[in-house]
Chains A and B, each alone.
Chain A
Amino acid sequence: MGQITLQNVQKSFGPVDIIKGADLDISDGSFVVFVGPSGCGKTTLLRLIAGLEDVSGGNILIDGKNVVDVPPAKRGLSMVFQSYALYPHMSVRGNIAFGLKMAGLPKAEINRKVEAAAATLNLTPYLDRKPRELSGGQRQRVAIGRAIVREPKAFLFDEPLSNLDAALRVQMRLEVTRLQKQLGTTAIYVTHDQVEAMTMADKIVVLNGGKIEQYGTPLELYEKPANLFVAGFIGSPKMNFISGEVAGRHGAATIGVRPEHLKIARDGEGWPGNIMVAEHLGSDTFLYVDAGAIGTLTARHVGELDLSAGDRVLLSPDPGRLHRFDESGKSLRA
């Protein structure tokens, strides 16, 4: 079991409030990603759950039991650190076994569990090597091995893939997701990369300035962002925001339309503009259009478009996928 509930969790460092009251309900076996810009408090929130920081207020419940006064090791969670934090003088075997050794398990059982974990992660040939003799991806898997061998109630991942190169990151992303599904253990994963968040998560928590902006499935966030921040943060390229008179016509202070929901035409209806930059990726074409008073708009077209910088185009939003926001940035629902 690994159900984690946060009730009005607060954290301040001196006079600075880092977490301003977080409420969250993470169900057993789900993969939850904390995402947000740097400094939004996502890592602090994770460390509060881990017990590496003490809360300033509120409760953290693991399987219904309040753990705010329980030391980290007794919470039954395990953590994968950004730097991996492997013990450099211990072999891979020693690293993975350390937690079990500290728990005082018999040697035979430790060996059995370590070898099972190593087999799951394809680390068996490396068991007797030192961390410095491993590649980045292998170190990453040792760190994960150290986490899974303790059979925790939940995994906590603190930006674990940020030190890997792009290709390896995509591969490890898949491996982590697959492993989590296979083990069925709750996982909380912190990242600043919204692509990682969208691809890995069952549910995403978007954090900004120490507040939870929205909590929902990736597609909920994409289709029904709660406010301007979430709308702008989720989705790549970023959503276009238009305010002023055009927004007023739709009865909103700001309207948002995603680049992929802008129809591109040479003539007919729409907002006129000149292409500043055209990016041709083959699979997609991205256009950055100077639309005069409306501002700069980004448009995405699936497939190739025979347009280049300087061309005049007309952009019209898909009326069904227009997002409307009031003055405070809150989403207006029809």
Chain B
Amino acid sequence: MAHTPELSPSQPSGALPRMAAPALQPTETGTGTRQTQLLARMLLTPAVALLFIWMIVPLGLTIYFSLLRYNLLDSESAQFVGLENFHYFLTDPAFLASLQNTLVLVGSVLGLTILLGIPLALLLDQPVIGRNIVRLMVIAPFFVMPTVSALIWKNLLMHPVSGLFAWIAQLFGAPPIDWFNDVPMLAIILIVAWQWLPFATLILLTALQSLDEEQKEAAEMDGAGALSTFIYITLPHLARPITVVILIETIFLLTVFAEIFVTTGGGPGLQTTNIAFLIYSQALIQYDVGGASAGGLVAVVIANIVAFFLVRIVGRNLEA
């Protein structure tokens, strides 16, 4: 059986980059190639340099501040203290609490958006009248700014006196829930999940639309019912977009701030303080720039650890 070359599995993955089209310049001399490379590097330099400076200056300053005792209330007396800020930040009981809050928030929102996003995407994939308008409405929350949506949730929906949820609870004779006092973390999770559900739905919907119709028909001929088709055909097809959703949402969910700031302010106590909010309070409530910088660096490390595990666990799906 003849092999078409591009389908051959034996091609070493480390071979020539496919997109580089080496066949285009087979007649060029070594000098010519080197000149082309030099030109390419020179042309790329300004962009790379700009990006580098953009990144390295803030990072360098943060590292610098993290080594100082530097309080805005007493900025004259800034002095070098070594790793003391890191020691205080990491041993602060607020740190562990906020780390846990961060992970709970990220994990819950991921779970909610994917578990609800899949059925929503399946529904939106059905041919119904006014499908385009329905899709637009579903996607709309994503375009509402976090501050605005948090305010709407706080004052119009979750308010224990004048909120819609309180009114509904009273219809059934139940006492209204004071969301931000009784279940503050759940309230934050609901708000953030509401914002990110459209994103997950949208990505999953486009993936569903790219599912080969003949594959579903083949499964139908093979005797698979709706549930089997979903488990054996649709869900594996969605593995890759689900990975994309997890990776992208994680990046943004680690730094959720506006929703917390507008609603609970990290409280009650530390119940809704995540790492981002902790750093904020360190810097702009306690005016401790040194401690906040140390916290920022810790957050960078945590983000990298999370990214490392994520890529190991789910990143496999991204390889073709």
Q: For window 268-322 of chain A, which residues contact chain B by CB distance below 8 Å?
A: none
**CB-defined interface of A54-90 with B at 8 Å, one 1/0 digit per residue?**
0000000000000000011110011101110111111
In B1-20, which residues have CB < 8 Å from any A CB?
Answer: 1-4, 7-9
Asked whether B214 lies within 8 Å of A72 as measured between CB atoms, the reply is no
Q: B136 an interface residue at 8 Å Cβ cutoff?
A: no
Cβ-neighbour of A136 out of B4, B218, B233, B320 (below 8 A): B4
Residues 106-162 of A contacting B (Cβ, < 8 Å):
122, 129, 132-138, 141, 146, 150
Question: How far in angstroms is the closest Cβ of chain B from A103?
Answer: 6
Q: In the complex, which residue of chain B has the Cβ closest to the Cβ of A147?
A: B221
Of A88, A98, A103, most buried by chain B (CB within 10 Å of CB) is A98
Q: A85-B214, A87-B215, A89-B236 are in contact. Are A136 and B221 (CB under 8 A)?
A: no
Which residues in chain B, 204-221, are within 8 Å of chain A measured between CB atoms? 212, 214-215, 217-221
Query: Which of B152-160, B183-191, B222-230 has 4 or more CB atoms under 8 Å from chain A?
Result: B222-230
Instruction: Assess the A89–B237 pair: CB atoms within 8 A.
Output: yes
Q: Which residue of A lies closest to B220 (CB)?
A: A72
Q: Determine if B220 and A52 form an interchain contact, defined as CB atoms under 8 angstroms apart.
A: yes
A99 within 8 A of B: yes
Q: Does A50 contact B (CB under 8 A)?
A: yes
> In the assembled complex, which residues on chain B have CB atoms less than 8 Å from the CB atom of A334?
none
Q: How far apart are the CA atoms of A129 and B10 in the complex, in Å? A: 12
Chain A contact-residue range equals 35 or more
Given A81-B217, A89-B237, A132-B7, 16 extra CB contacts under 8 A: A52-B220, A71-B220, A73-B222, A85-B212, A85-B214, A85-B217, A87-B219, A99-B221, A102-B222, A133-B7, A133-B9, A135-B1, A135-B2, A141-B1, A146-B218, A168-B1
B232 at the interface (CB under 8 A from A): yes
Provide the bound-state CA to CA distance between A85 and B229, in Å. 14
Say yes or no: is B239 at the interface (Cβ < 8 Å to chain A). Answer: yes
Asked, given contacts A99-B222, A102-B222, A103-B223, whether A138 binds B215 with beta carbons under 8 Å apart, the answer is: no
Report which of A73, A81, A98 forms a contact with B232, defined as CB distance below 8 A.
A98
A183 within 8 A of B: no
Complex CA distance for A129 and B4, rounded to whole angstroms: 16
Cβ A98 vs Cβ B7 within 8 A: no
Residues of chain B lying within 8 A (CB to CB) of residue A167? 2
- A-B complex: 5 closest residue pairs judged by Cβ atoms: A73-B223, A99-B222, A85-B214, A133-B9, A85-B218
